[in-house]
Structure 1
Amino acid sequence: MKFHRNSNAKSKALAAASVLGLVMGAAAPAYAQDAEAADEQAGTASAGDIIVTARAREEKLIDIPVAVSAFSQESLQQADIANPVELSNYVPGLDFQQAAAGTDSPGSNPNITFRGIRQQLSSASNQVGAIFYDGSFLGAGAGILTLEDLERVEVIKGPQTAYFGRNTFAGAVNYIPAQASDYTEMNGELMYSPSDDDSFKIALAAGTPLGDRAGLRFNFVRARSGGDFEYGDGEALNRQDKTQVGATFTVEPVDNLNLKFSGYYVDATDTYLNVSIDSTVPAGECDRTVSGEYINTATGERTPFTTDLSQLPYGSFCGHFPEGKDSNILTPISLYPTAENSVGGDPSASYEGNALMDGLSLLPDMPGRFGGHHKTWRGQMNGDYTFDSGHSVSWIASRTMFGSSYSFDQYFGLSADGSVLPRGYQTWIKETYAEARFASPQEQAFRYMFGATHYKQDYRNGATGPVLTVNFQDTKSFSLFGAVDLDLTDTLTISGEGRWVHDKLFVDINGDPTLPTDSPSVTYQSGNSMKKFMPRAIVTWKPALDTTIYASWSRSALIGEQTNAAVVHGLDPELIPDPDAFGDFTPPQTNTSYELGWKQQLDWATFSLAGFYMKWDNQVFRTTVLAGTQTTSYALPGASEYKGIEFEGFATPTDWLNIGAGLLWVDAELLDYAARSSFESAVLGSGTLAVVSDGYRPKGVSEWSGNLNLTVHGDVAGHESYVRSDFLYRGSFYAENQEFNKIDGALKINLRAGTDLAEGLTFELYGKNITDNRQLDPIAFTTSGPNGRKIFTPPTIARELGARLMFNF
């Protein structure tokens, strides 16, 4: 519904609260209010009245006994949050990263972290955090979907398996599309930045009622984010172009029956490529000594070691990663590799696609250059019917398709002679989701809800080029779920929730299909299943109307991953003498979680404070080995634990100042963990053995992170104006599980200044990352190459200066 502008200074305070975008991680309410209501609420921290649906029913944000951050579309726009990566800058406990190049398409397999729980090994169907679109699981294409024309985004932290199911092992994000209000409206944005390769955005959304019982809303986005680096031939590296269209149709055919039909189509291209950084410390000059234990993960035998890194015969980073500045980054010599600069001659084979992927709908042709082409569409129906008794039935049905073709340089820009090694991948995903729920009236002291969910994912991934490996697998999931709430007194409520799930993973083929069917390097017709009950119990105490204190316990689960032990045994029996001892799949992963929270609304402030503890058992980790002449890996289960404190708050100490803040402290520790990669083998000297990481902090996890947002607003020469500053901090973290190579903490600053040119028309000048801080990505890692060790990393994002025109009529 439309946010009505008002020239009254108090109304501007409410709008600025929406601009700030954080009240317990949420914006002030930016929907249905008339001028008088806006005036009444403007001087208070009324955003605690925001309605969220994190438990599949409408509840006030201040009342729900779950840690939730909620953003209206206005707050997303005013903070210029256009994608889930940017969203995670404003939500303590959330971190969204794209997949590493060379494993999957950047848009298909996002890596979502909640409260430090970060997967070391993941697949498209098996994530610790998930994105949902209006309550329906979205596993495909989430990385290219923009955050435009949404009624609300809810970030729900902690396991959410009872209400959301799929892959909410540590948390969930729910996108709720906007729908037409009871009058015609139009809003949008024009943005341009001359920084680097030019960035721009044209966004338009419009809605109108269709009689008294129906409404239609549509949106269109055309956007480009400029590349912050260049290939050797001057072409932009990491430029992303995107076109998105979407629509939502709502209708009430009879009283008490509401139907919503929504969907979108996205077409995106990019010149994305992981890049390289050469070693910074010459051979013989690293003055560090490392001690620990090697372990033979096949037998469990441990051996103490001490490695003097001054004896390394090649350059290294010696415990510290540099920033990803232009002077450090190495990129391929051309966006369009030729036979002259490609290893192995003509690179056209890498652009021809995988023959086994032929005939899949929506799969784009290979781009014929480095980078990718990605497409996705989604169709969905949501419905609910309320009986005269107050009981209700609701349902969801959706279908999603995603196709991606991606080419990359396997050297990632770092080779001895400037040559490139073209490779490619194609990814295709089809998802079907269906759910039905039955719920009691919500006004009574005893409330209940139960339902069922069905989900199916068909996943196809095929390499292009000289090695045509494929990974074809299907996932099916059926679950029954329910919840009960009982008000013991006016202030004390107990809640019990649970979901029984039967997950099936069937691997049709994984490996090189050109090899004989009995080859150990290829797996055919392999399956795994998991049957688990996942409960959650909550006690909620409300000693006052504006106070909520809660305690919860939950246990969630994820199906295990392929061990690959039989493949390694077939290539080199000495590495794994008995593959049966490993099994084909690791055991189900479990997360046992405890949380204690306090939410408070005052006259001038609102805050949320939560303490949590999580124990992750059977966490999957990878051991990379040289088996015969082939580099491969196998997976084993481990364990880790996470405890921390999370704070989010919003305050309006004066009628011209809004303050928002979020802070996360998390103490993460590996309890039973060992792995082998290039770092363990080449730097720590483990050879074919893994290195024990017990007691260390998991890689990529910061101890501290947070944000501070300040907005000053008021009347300037008769125009309502504002100046906003965002301070976004990610603390230091390690690139390996041995706490060795550290990436320094980074403070990024965004500044914005805007003024209303006319009713519903705002002009803004902005600067993003004005200090040009280039902290490397948490998925950055090292390997060996020319001139010693090198870093593979996604390209960093540079300073951006630009202007925006926002309109709302």
Structure 2
Amino acid sequence: MSGKSLKTVLLATGVAFALSPIAASVAAEVNKNNDFEKITVKARKRDESIIEVPLSVKAFTADDLEEAGLAELESLADFTPNLDFQNMGNSQPGRLNSVIRFRGMDMTISTPANQTGGFFVDAVNILGGASSVSFTDIAQVEVIRGPQPVYFGRGTFGGAINYTTVTPQDEFSGQISASYSPTFGSNDMNVYVEGALTDSINARLTAFTRTQGAPFTANDGGALGEETTDGLSLILAINPNDKLSIKTRLAYSEDDDGAPSAMALSYANIGNVPVGSAITLPTNAGDFTTAFSHAWLQGDVPYFSPSTNTGFYDISIANAYFFEDQSANGIGDGTYHLSDLLAERPESGDTPSLNRIGLRSDLLAFSTDVTYYISDDLTFSGLLGYNKKDSTQIRDADQTDIQAWTLSTYLELESWSAEARLNFDNAGPLRWMIGANFSEIDQMGDVDGGWNVWDGLYSAYAPFYGADQTFLLGYGLSTGGNGLDVTNVKTAAVFGSVEYDITDMVTVVAEGRYQRDESYSQQGATTSTLGEKVELSYNDFLPRVSVIVSPDDNTNVFLSYSEAVLPGFFNDTLASLDAADLAYAQSLYPELEVEVDQEKLKAYELGFKQSALDGALWYSVVAFYQEWDNQKSSGQFPQFTNPETGYTSPIFLIATTTGSSTQTGIETEGRWMITDNLNVQFAYGYVESEYDNYTSNALRSALGLPRGTFLLANGNTLPRSPKHSAAIGLTYSDDLTAEWGYSARLDTTYRSETFADELNLTTIEGYTLTNFRLSFENNDGLALEVFCTNCLDKDGWATGRRSTDFTHPLFAATAAVVDPITPREVGVRFRYDF
């Protein structure tokens, strides 16, 4: 039976059972007082039932997070269809530049200021904070798929994740919880107290520490994969009268990580396609028969125990030149310690100090949310937010055991925003909202570069290139900076919605956002070598139109259309050409443009949501189709000479170009309280994320293609995009005695295989993970729990993508950068509520 047929049978069987007398009799046994709580979401910045909101939303309440043992976004993503979040962002390991991906939408290079998915806490964008914010004072997590610029603004091209924090109550209470796993030493502790400070002010103070122990040991004896976050937060709820409410949150946290567990596997070592193997490829010049110039891997990336360099070491130089100084009086013979060479960086930013392999980050976040009820019909809301994250990372940049390349990088992120909204709802057929928003973000540091220490790479070039390249002989050491990026973005917008009930069953919704986006960016090796500012500005209207049909109080069907944009790009190399030379270049290569247009997304969604069986069951099914145009790529074009002007282009003429792709799929999820004791939560996602028209320069060298000839990836799947993702959780709870009760929770998640690159020959094997928790709780607020994660001890790669083999001469070979699945952990946890 085919996969499609099987899914059809399962769906038909599930629907038939849900409507059958057996299901109805089971539901009748459920005490209505134990029905699932009515989940309310803020996806459109107002309280709505998850059944009623015409969006694809996956919501996790605080109880959901605790029952499943979820502590951060990376583990939550396993339970969310068509969401991919790994601490390994592009190909950099660790928590420096994590990336949120929705519905198989992958970008070649993502930065905190330019991503397809946005991260918010209390509707305030937390730039670069997705991997640093814990769930300690979170009341609910909402994963909102599809374009969300109308309400959340910039950076929500493919979707948004919003954490809603708790609102302190006036009754004094608190909680102490802790867990420990002897497997790798993972542990956490959370403490909070809350209550009334005055008649009108309630407060909650939270402190937490969380450590993921090191699951792996490198060949040099160092630990791999340890991550620690410590934090404090204070939330104030101020209610001076019945009309005015103010909620303010101030949070500070620190990340302190060891060497990451991601590693690079060279195709020269693990490949099964040898150099010289013939291949015929679709290219922009037609079908092209060529031969692999480097070894390649077809099929799954094999699993190896991770290992990279985890500590500093000495570098001994004898009869060698310093690469930047080609005179006979180059670097003197001697021994140099890696820490001293890294410390030569001219500037390191206002970021935490670090003198080891690892990462340190400081995150400060502040928000104030104001609600004022002008009348029964009219409500004013205001939102102010500020956050700053400073990070320093030192990593083994080649990500192997070879002592070849170490990189020191820093990243400063800062953003603030202000918003005002006016909502009208008189319980009649017409509802509307109008708002204004202003935000500014600053990004400075090394997004894809840093201060480099290359040890011995250059001396290795001569044997590879032969005697005609003897000028490289002897250069055993090099240091230098690259990849420094300075970006500033200011966005001003007005937005709003009009919602009208045409009949009791049919509602139409028109929502939109008009925004002006102004940005400038500079690149260089250091602050003293930054180039000229590249300024871009855009005016956009971003609509969303929905039709909602509600045949009864428990059913909603919706159809929607929405749009989103990402900033374009300025090819400064082309901009430096005079008109005649630019025209000549474009006559040779028509795809060359000085200013690349914005990326644009058009999304269509058809959803069906229903609560059934007297409230014991609710489910949602959303089908979607998306068109992603002007998707950024890049090309390396042959050197040319204009015969009329005599101008000769650079040897490496690299320019950003564009392509397109589509995403088609479904997202389904729900909850079913089968009996008073047994309930199930389920979720499934399917996505076909395919290139329609896309040229790739990244593989040109390895595939033996000449400059200007690019792989045409049309019809191939975007990297890191699993077609299938699923999760199911079963919870059984009952009383043991009059004082004690217990619950058992079993979770299984699935993620299908992904491709490592746009060629679609190399794959990351799919995997299934199983978690189990058994807890006991008494009437006095004491809970004890034993748990295991990845109980079946599945090994393999959680994610991976093609990269460069940075241990190979001139970085000309290919590798896969992969991040391993965390092995099985067993531990205990306790909680005491007072």
Counterpart of 1:487 in structure 2: which amino acid? D
SS at match of 2:521: strand
Judged with a 3 Å threshold, the aligned counterparts in structure 2 of structure 1 residues 152 and 625 are, in CA distance, closer, same or farther, namely farther
Q: Which of 715, 722, 740 is the aligned partner of 1:702?
A: 722
1:654 is displaced (CA, Å) by 2.2
Q: Which of 589, 602, 610 is the aligned partner of 2:622?
A: 610
Counterpart of 1:129 in structure 2: which amino acid? G
- Which position in structure 2 is the counterpart of 1:348? 339
- Which position in structure 2 is the counterpart of 1:600? 610
1:214 is displaced (CA, Å) by 1.5
Whole-Å separation in 2 of the counterparts to 1:640 and 1:698: 9
Q: Are the aligned partners of 1:701 and 1:778 in contact in 2 as well (CA < 8 Å)?
A: no
1:732 is displaced (CA, Å) by 0.9
1:511 is displaced (CA, Å) by 4.4
Judged with a 3 Å threshold, the aligned counterparts in structure 2 of structure 1 residues 751 and 145 are, in CA distance, closer, same or farther, namely same
- Cα deviation per residue 1:280-301 (whole Å; 9 max; x = unaligned)? 5567669986432233xxxxxx
- Which position in structure 2 is the counterpart of 1:168? 156
- Which position in structure 2 is the counterpart of 1:34? none
Per the normalisation by structure 2, the TM-score is: 0.83
**Larger CA deviation: 373-382 vs 711-720:** 711-720
Counterpart of 1:474 in structure 2: which amino acid? N
Judged with a 3 Å threshold, the aligned counterparts in structure 2 of structure 1 residues 219 and 626 are, in CA distance, closer, same or farther, namely farther
**Larger CA deviation: 345-354 vs 162-171:** 345-354
1:262 aligns with 2:274: no
Counterpart of 1:305 in structure 2: which amino acid? F
Counterpart of 1:599 in structure 2: which amino acid? K
SS at match of 2:105: coil
Written as runs of structure 1 = structure 2, the 5 A alignment for 1:790-801 is 790-801=815-826
1:405 is displaced (CA, Å) by 0.7
1:563 is displaced (CA, Å) by 3.9
Whole-Å separation in 1 of the counterparts to 2:601 and 2:513: 14
Q: Which of 437, 441, 457 is the aligned partner of 2:425?
A: 441
Judged with a 3 Å threshold, the aligned counterparts in structure 2 of structure 1 residues 50 and 102 are, in CA distance, closer, same or farther, namely closer
- Which position in structure 2 is the counterpart of 1:404? 391
1:775 is displaced (CA, Å) by 3.7
- Cα deviation per residue 1:497-521 (whole Å; 9 max; x = unaligned)? 0000111120144445566xxxxxx
- Which position in structure 1 is the counterpart of 2:466? none
- Cα deviation per residue 1:140-192 (whole Å; 9 max; x = unaligned)? 32221112211111111111111111211111111111121131111242111
Q: Are the aligned partners of 1:624 and 1:632 in contact in 2 as well (CA < 8 Å)?
A: yes
Q: How many residues align?
A: 738
Whole-Å separation in 2 of the counterparts to 1:80 and 1:88: 13
- Cα deviation per residue 1:317-362 (whole Å; 9 max; x = unaligned)? 2333123x41xx3312x4233335999743235643754454x3xx
Judged with a 3 Å threshold, the aligned counterparts in structure 2 of structure 1 residues 228 and 289 are, in CA distance, closer, same or farther, namely farther
Counterpart of 1:338 in structure 2: which amino acid? D
1:611 is displaced (CA, Å) by 0.6
Q: Which of 592, 607, 611 is the aligned partner of 1:582?
A: 592
Written as runs of structure 1 = structure 2, the 5 A alignment for 1:464-483 is 464-465=451-452, 466-469=479-482, 470-483=484-497
Counterpart of 2:553 in structure 1: which amino acid? L
Counterpart of 2:693 in structure 1: which amino acid? D
SS at match of 1:780: strand
Judged with a 3 Å threshold, the aligned counterparts in structure 2 of structure 1 residues 713 and 142 are, in CA distance, closer, same or farther, namely same
Whole-Å separation in 2 of the counterparts to 1:364 and 1:671: 44
Written as runs of structure 1 = structure 2, the 5 A alignment for 1:544-555 is 544-555=552-563
- Which position in structure 2 is the counterpart of 1:540? 548
Whole-Å separation in 2 of the counterparts to 1:446 and 1:421: 63
- Which position in structure 1 is the counterpart of 2:785? 764
Judged with a 3 Å threshold, the aligned counterparts in structure 2 of structure 1 residues 595 and 449 are, in CA distance, closer, same or farther, namely same
Whole-Å separation in 1 of the counterparts to 2:187 and 2:196: 31
Q: Are the aligned partners of 1:128 and 1:167 in contact in 2 as well (CA < 8 Å)?
A: yes
- Which position in structure 2 is the counterpart of 1:392? 379
1:185 aligns with 2:173: yes
Counterpart of 2:544 in structure 1: which amino acid? R
SS at match of 1:167: coil
Whole-Å separation in 2 of the counterparts to 1:748 and 1:289: 39
- Which position in structure 1 is the counterpart of 2:190? 203
Q: Are the aligned partners of 1:681 and 1:688 in contact in 2 as well (CA < 8 Å)?
A: no
Q: Which of 271, 288, 304 is the aligned partner of 2:287?
A: 304
Whole-Å separation in 2 of the counterparts to 1:207 and 1:364: 32
Counterpart of 1:142 in structure 2: which amino acid? A
1:98 aligns with 2:106: no
- Which position in structure 2 is the counterpart of 1:26? none
1:622 is displaced (CA, Å) by 3.6
SS at match of 1:163: helix
Written as runs of structure 1 = structure 2, the 5 A alignment for 1:659-698 is 659-677=680-698, 679-683=699-703, 685=705, 689-698=709-718
Whole-Å separation in 2 of the counterparts to 1:372 and 1:101: 16
Judged with a 3 Å threshold, the aligned counterparts in structure 2 of structure 1 residues 95 and 630 are, in CA distance, closer, same or farther, namely farther
- Cα deviation per residue 1:76-114 (whole Å; 9 max; x = unaligned)? 1221211111111111122112354776x8445331111
Counterpart of 1:590 in structure 2: which amino acid? K
Q: Are the aligned partners of 1:681 and 1:689 in contact in 2 as well (CA < 8 Å)?
A: no
**Larger CA deviation: 373-382 vs 715-724:** 715-724
SS at match of 1:669: strand
1:331 aligns with 2:339: no
Q: Are the aligned partners of 2:802 and 2:814 in contact in 1 as well (CA < 8 Å)?
A: no
Counterpart of 2:833 in structure 1: which amino acid? N
Judged with a 3 Å threshold, the aligned counterparts in structure 2 of structure 1 residues 233 and 101 are, in CA distance, closer, same or farther, namely farther
**Larger CA deviation: 164-173 vs 618-627:** 618-627
Whole-Å separation in 2 of the counterparts to 1:208 and 1:585: 56
Q: Are the aligned partners of 2:571 and 2:595 in contact in 1 as well (CA < 8 Å)?
A: yes
- Which position in structure 1 is the counterpart of 2:118? 130
Instruction: In structure 2, list runs of 5 or more residues that go unmatched.
Output: 1-29, 323-335, 453-478, 640-648
Q: Which of 219, 223, 227 is the aligned partner of 1:236?
A: 223
Judged with a 3 Å threshold, the aligned counterparts in structure 2 of structure 1 residues 531 and 141 are, in CA distance, closer, same or farther, namely same
Whole-Å separation in 2 of the counterparts to 1:583 and 1:287: 35
- Which position in structure 2 is the counterpart of 1:247? 234
Q: Are the aligned partners of 1:564 and 1:633 in contact in 2 as well (CA < 8 Å)?
A: no
Whole-Å separation in 2 of the counterparts to 1:112 and 1:585: 27
- Which position in structure 2 is the counterpart of 1:294? 283
1:592 is displaced (CA, Å) by 0.5
Judged with a 3 Å threshold, the aligned counterparts in structure 2 of structure 1 residues 281 and 121 are, in CA distance, closer, same or farther, namely closer
Written as runs of structure 1 = structure 2, the 5 A alignment for 1:443-462 is 443-462=427-446
- Cα deviation per residue 1:745-789 (whole Å; 9 max; x = unaligned)? 111111111222553222111111122323424442243466974
- Which position in structure 2 is the counterpart of 1:484? 498
Q: Are the aligned partners of 2:718 and 2:758 in contact in 1 as well (CA < 8 Å)?
A: yes
Instruction: In structure 1, list runs of 5 or more residues that go unmatched.
Output: 1-38, 296-301, 516-521
Written as runs of structure 1 = structure 2, the 5 A alignment for 1:769-784 is 769-784=790-805
Whole-Å separation in 2 of the counterparts to 1:444 and 1:786: 68
Counterpart of 1:682 in structure 2: which amino acid? A
SS at match of 2:299: coil
1:675 is displaced (CA, Å) by 1.0
Whole-Å separation in 2 of the counterparts to 1:144 and 1:122: 18
Per the normalisation by structure 1, the TM-score is: 0.85
- Which position in structure 1 is the counterpart of 2:642? none
1:84 aligns with 2:94: no
Whole-Å separation in 2 of the counterparts to 1:370 and 1:629: 37
Q: Are the aligned partners of 1:281 and 1:318 in contact in 2 as well (CA < 8 Å)?
A: no
Whole-Å separation in 2 of the counterparts to 1:676 and 1:80: 43
Percent identical: 23
Whole-Å separation in 1 of the counterparts to 2:259 and 2:569: 28
- Larger-Rg structure: 2
Q: Are the aligned partners of 2:272 and 2:298 in contact in 1 as well (CA < 8 Å)?
A: no
- Cα deviation per residue 1:554-601 (whole Å; 9 max; x = unaligned)? 11111113446449999xx99x94599734442111111110111111
Q: Are the aligned partners of 1:376 and 1:403 in contact in 2 as well (CA < 8 Å)?
A: yes
